[in-house]
Amino acid sequence: MNTSADILVLNTGSSSVKFAVFDAQLHERISGVAEGIGARGSLRIGAQTEPLDLPDHDQALAAVLDRLTQQGAGPNSLRAVAHRVVHGGQALTQPTRITPPVRAEIRACVPLAPLHNPHALLAMDALDHLAPDLPQYASFDTAFHATAPEVASRYALPPQAEALGLRRYGFHGLSYAALCRRLPEISAHPLPQRLLALHLGNGASICAIKDGQSVGTTMGYSPLEGLTMGTRVGTLDPNATLRLVEEIGLNKTKALLNNRSGLVGLSGGLSDMRALEQAGTPEAQFAIDHFCYWAIRHGHSLIGAMGGCDAIAFTGGIGENASGIRARILDGFAWLGCAIDPDRNTQNTPCLTSPTATPTAWIVPAEEERQIAMDADTLLRGAT
């Protein structure tokens, strides 16, 4: 095994590569992003931004590795590269070393995640070329939800439709896995048996976690289902989608539902929660009301899936920082006994309620990149 210490984590998108380097103690020591791939882009590491021509992912990753080498974190200093892969389908439900069969499974999931999996594969191919001796690992955003019962995962579709892969996979799994790891450390208590976890950011979802395992989540076949999000519509009657296809066509419908709906569609152009709270317009207020209403409504559905609730946890940019949104949402669970402490909430303290409340409410900082590094580290240690 390579005796070098660092693990490089990559999150590759269509026009960007986010990266973070973790040391032997799994502390993040370098992070940044190469963005604008396909045009005149830039590479940011820490506070330094450098304009660069980034015609493709190969060139972007070569630039990333070159700059990391200058900071003592190049391929010769790495134990491994670990990738965030959005979709693992039904086969890839655990972190794994990337082998030809694993790569074939990731490629087989491209129809399920056409905007994400192809770019992860491009990064893997580029690393094979740039650093062929460096082992590569993958963690899957869908994997955490593989424990959900079949009644939660299957749509009420006949077998021929199910055979197309049309089922609820769920996403944000790496965030929920990190939350389950971190909450006991933050609370100094075991993980609650019935935990309602809210990942609230531009993409948003809720997960019912019972005995540490996902038993249901709001996102489904794609990240489009569930809550009102920054630009995504959330749950929509399928006949409404079909009507839109009839009226404006397939491609415009895809763009409308994924990029021009949700908060941005309701507010008249604002998707950032901070901007919405500051706007003071009726449209912005309605968008906030819509976001909170559907978080409360979907949350109660998932409490039903668990048969109760012992704790509520918030993570993600909105979940960690928007005290007013947390207060609105938790007010919807006050009947359960979840009485928010206004001072704790305003100060963003880890515990938002009295520690003796039932259920308690918590803030858990998102650690998706560190979770990926930990997954790779566990597999590397197991290989020794």
Place of tokens 């021929």: 160
Given 140, 168, 201, the domain boundary residue is: 140
Helix (H, G, I), strand (E, B) or coil at 110: helix
User: Does residue 30 sit within a domain?
Assistant: yes
Q: Would you mind telling me the total number of residues written for the chain in this entry?
A: 384
Within this chain, do residues 79 and 194 fall inside the same structural domain, yes or no?
no
Residue 344 lies in a domain: yes
318 assigned to a ligand binding site:
yes
Does 254 show up as a binding residue in the annotation?
no
* Measured torsion, CA atoms of residues 284, 285, 288, 292, in degrees rounded to the nearest 10: -160
Q: Tell me: do 136 and 12 sit in the same domain.
A: yes
Residues 135, 56 share a domain = yes
DSSP 334: G
Assess if residue 111 is contained within a domain: yes
Residue 257, domain CATH: 3.30.420.40
Does one domain contain both 54 and 191?
Answer: no
Same domain, residue pair 25 and 82: yes
On whether both 193 and 342 belong to a single domain, the answer is yes
Domain that holds residue 102: 6-140
Q: State yes or no: 320 annotated in a binding site.
A: yes
Same domain, 210 and 335: yes
To the question of whether residue 2 is assigned a binding role by annotation, the answer is no
pTM: 0.95
Q: Specify if 305 maps to a domain.
A: yes
Determine, yes or no, domain membership for 180: no
- CB burial of 323-340 (b: ≥16 within 10 Å; e: otherwise) equals bebbebbbebbeebebbb
Active site residues: 141
pLDDT one digit per residue (tens) for the chain, 384 residues: 445 789 999 999 988 999 999 999 999 999 999 999 998 899 999 889 999 999 999 999 999 999 999 999 999 999 999 999 999 999 999 999 999 999 999 999 999 998 899 999 999 999 999 999 999 999 999 999 999 999 999 999 999 999 999 999 999 999 999 999 999 999 999 999 999 999 999 999 999 999 999 999 999 999 999 999 999 999 999 999 999 999 999 999 999 999 999 999 999 999 999 999 999 999 999 999 999 999 999 999 999 999 999 999 999 999 999 999 999 999 999 999 999 999 999 999 999 998 788 999 999 999 999 999 999 999 999 875
Residue 152 belongs to a domain: no
Q: Cis omega (within 30 of 0) on the bond before 359?
A: yes
321 annotated binding-site participant: yes
* pLDDT score of 39: 84
Q: Is residue 29 assigned to a domain?
A: yes
Annotate 131-188 with three-state secondary structure.
CCCCCEEEEECCHHHHHCCHHHHECCCCHHHHCCCCECCCCCHHHHHHHHHHHHHHHC
Residue 375 inside a domain? The answer is no
Measured CA to CA in angstroms, residue 198 lies from 35, 152, 266, 312 at distances of 28, 18, 22, 8
To the question of whether residue 274 is assigned a binding role by annotation, the answer is yes
Looking at 140, 161, 176, the residue that finishes a domain is: 140
Residues 229 and 352 grouped into a single domain:
yes
> Domain total for the chain?
2
- Domain final residue, candidates 101, 119, 140: 140
Residues 131, 246 within the same domain = no
Residues 217 and 351 in one domain: yes
Question: Would the annotation count 40 as a binding residue?
Answer: no
Q: Which of helix, strand or coil describes residue 46?
A: coil
Is 317 labelled as part of a ligand binding site? yes
Any known ligand binding at 18?
Answer: yes
Please check whether residues 210 and 114 belong to one and the same domain: no
Say whether both 274 and 330 belong to one domain: yes
Q: Annotation-wise, does 272 bind a ligand?
A: yes
Please tell me whether 332 is known to bind a ligand.
no
